[in-house]
Amino acid sequence: MIVIPAIDVKEGRCVRLLQGDFDRSTVYSDHPAQIALEWQKKGAERIHIIDLEGSRDGAPRNRDVIGEIARAVDVPLQVGGGIRDMKTVNAYLAMGVAYVILGTLALKDRDFVLNVCAAHPGRIILALDARDGMIAVEGWTESTDRSPAEVAAQYEGCGLDAIIYTDIQRDGMQSGVNVESTRLLAEAVDVPVIASGGVASLQDIDRLLEAGGSRIMGVITGKALYTGALRLEDAIARVAQFV
């Protein structure tokens, strides 16, 4: 399992939202590329970047900032937020992004997702965000009646790098990661799963390591790093000890 620090970009700045609410955001830096360099220096093997306004609006809004981050660091980036067409996918990959994250389209255009996976095998990540156990889309503003396992099953064998599972109600709250739901999804599909939402301390890292085996390939953490509740170096060291 790898520990993946998160950078959420809004209006060109590094912020964190509470439960995906744009009205409850905290700015942590005006220079996201500097934050990415800090995570790289502390040993990050991959960095998670979301264009928050892109997620809400359905089109990239912070592409220049993401390009700056891609030029600044050497570690692989996984980028999401408003990626709804092949042109945008190709543009991000061309600027040096390693993995492109698709979310809303997983429910709205399965054929497109399959085509993107075929064009870029191993470089596409599916983001499944859930509220009360059901998928939410459009930057978490719309709820559905479909479960993460139901949606994930439609994309097995298509060449995904991974599936990110986020419990929206825990995201940014430091209330503890939803280990059980993450484990159940990881056991239900053959695609590696990345846990996200609510990581608060090293205890969450321990719980994921104990529950996931090799099926939970990574964990994304954001607010806990920015508040100092969790140090990236400590989380990486804990994972290394488990191995």
Summarize the confidence of residues 9-19 as an average pLDDT: 85
CB atoms within 10 A of CB 138: 15
129 catalytic residue (yes or no) = yes
Q: Residue 17 — pLDDT band, cuts 50, 70, 90?
A: confident
Comparing 110 with 103, the larger pLDDT belongs to 110
| CATH class of the 2-242 domain in this structure | alpha beta
Q: What is the pLDDT of residue 169?
A: 57
Give the CA radius of gyration of the chain: 16
Domain segments of the chain: what residues?
A: 2-242
Q: What is the pLDDT of residue 202?
A: 94
109 catalytic residue (yes or no) = no
CB of 106 within 8 A of CB of 155? yes
pLDDT in tens, 27-49: 899 999 999 999 999 999 999 99
In Å, what is the CA distance from 21 to each residue of 18, 140, 168, 188, 220?
6, 9, 10, 30, 18
Percentage, residues of the chain above pLDDT 70 = 90
Q: Residue 165 — pLDDT band, cuts 50, 70, 90?
A: very high
Q: What is the pLDDT of residue 242?
A: 85
Residue 180 is given by DSSP the state H
Residue among 21, 23, 85, 129 flagged as catalytic = 129
Taking all residues of the chain, what is their mean pLDDT, rounded to a whole number?
89
Which one, of 26, 49, 25, lies nearest residue 36 by Cα? 49
Q: What is the pLDDT of residue 46?
A: 98
- Indicate whether 171 pLDDT > 50: no
- Indicate whether 135 pLDDT > 70: yes
Q: Residue 180 — pLDDT band, cuts 50, 70, 90?
A: confident
Q: What is the pLDDT of residue 172?
A: 45
CA end-to-end span of the chain: 9
Q: What is the pLDDT of residue 192?
A: 95
pLDDT in tens, 54-96: 988 889 999 999 999 999 999 999 999 999 999 999 999 999 9
- Indicate whether 173 pLDDT > 50: no
In this structure, what token pair is assigned to residue 4?
A: 């993946």
